Amino acid sequence: MKRIMITGALGQIGTELVLKCREIYGTENVLATDIREPEADSPIKEGPFEILDVTDIERMKEIVSEFKPDAMMHMAALLSATAEKNPQLAWNINMGGLVNALETAREYDLQFFTPSSIGAFGPTTPKKDTPALTIQRPTSMYGVNKVSGELLCEYYHTKFGVDTRSVRFPGLISYVKEPGGGTTDYAVEIYFEAVRKGEYTSFIDKGTYMDMMFMDDAIDAIIKLMEAPEDELKHRCAFNLSGMSFEPEEIAASIQKHIPDFKLSYDVDPVRQGIADSWPDAIDTSCSRDEWGFAPKYDLDKMTEAMLNGVREKEAAAQK
């Protein structure tokens, strides 16, 4: 992987993925694309950027033909809560965009990555130590998209020989970009509100465990998987990832080690709570660790310290 095109580059993952890849592979070797222009002060603007609607396959192929990447990281998608509000739009973007990206990767012989999610699991999936290969009967449109995407990537590998790779991300936590419509967003919002107000009202109920990961670990995992030897990958489109599993009271307790007066209350959103209840409590990541050396660095307390420091710096910069 030497020259990379990234779709959905202005999203929660894409923003940090572009910057990390440019740091490793060189700014001019990483093309960021999205459906809208970056903001004026965005560091994304410091390197190659193209407008791309992923449902437009002809434009996608045109960009690939001009940039000549050897790898595509397809990050463009609607997230879980947003997808549930507009299922047809979610299908058109999440699945239509993925088919276009896979077909482009096939035609131009690109190594290919796209993320799946713990949303690919459902209420009949084993709740604890959820294996990589298990029952997947999701009850949300986002989950249906992700299961379909995993199978489609496997199909393009077995049918056409495309080097497809994917991971099932848990909730991803970052201070760089605020969340945009996911069920796990509370675990990001809580840090911003802890710094801004000293309190937070969670839309996820107490006792609801979900897998989570700090964004730095997630970005490192994508790059490590893409650099892994192809012949060592057995679960290529179904790698579970997680850095930790916690419920709202635990993240609040971690914050209170730094902000003792922080208060947590609840106003549960039935849609997002229903999605969360259908997901596992804690997944098994042994295949990822064994096949390509997945090794997250952050636990809850280490992540809390990084998040609070990052949010404070961001808030201070915004006030200047």
Q: Which structural domains are found in the chain, ordered by start? A: 4-170+215-240 (3.40.50.720), 171-212+243-282+298-318 (3.90.25)
Task: Let me know if 254 is exposed, middle or buried by CB neighbors in 10 A (0-12, 13-18, 19+).
Answer: buried
Beta carbons within 10 angstroms of residue 174's beta carbon: 23
Measuring CA to CA, which residue among 39, 26, 293 is closest to residue 18? 26
27-56 burial: b if 16+ Cβ within 10 Å, else e: eebbbbbbbeebeeeeebeebbbbebbbbb
Nearest to 243 by CA among 274, 209, 282, 269: 282
Please report where in the chains the tokens 């804690």 appear, as a residue. Answer: 282
What's the pLDDT at 183? 84
The verdict on whether 266 is a catalytic residue reads: no
Catalytic option among 142, 156, 200, 298: 142
Instruction: Print the SS3 string covering 160-222.
Output: HCCCEECEEECEEECCCCCCCCCHHHHHHHHHHHHHHCCEEEECCCCCCCEEEEEHHHHHHHH
pLDDT at 249: 97
pLDDT at residue 98, as a whole number? 98
Q: How many CB atoms lie within 10 A of CB 290?
A: 12
CA–CA dist 167, 171 (Å, integer)? 13
The H or E element that residue 113 is part of is strand 111-113
pLDDT at 291: 97
pLDDT, averaged per 10 consecutive residues of the chain (320 residues), comes to 96 94 98 95 94 98 98 93 90 97 98 96 94 94 96 97 97 84 89 96 96 96 97 92 96 98 97 91 95 97 97 88
**pLDDT value at residue 113:** 98
| Eight-class DSSP state of 86 | S
For position 114, what pLDDT does the model report?
98
pLDDT given for residue 318 in this prediction: 81
Residues 171 and 182: beta-carbon distance below 8 Å? yes
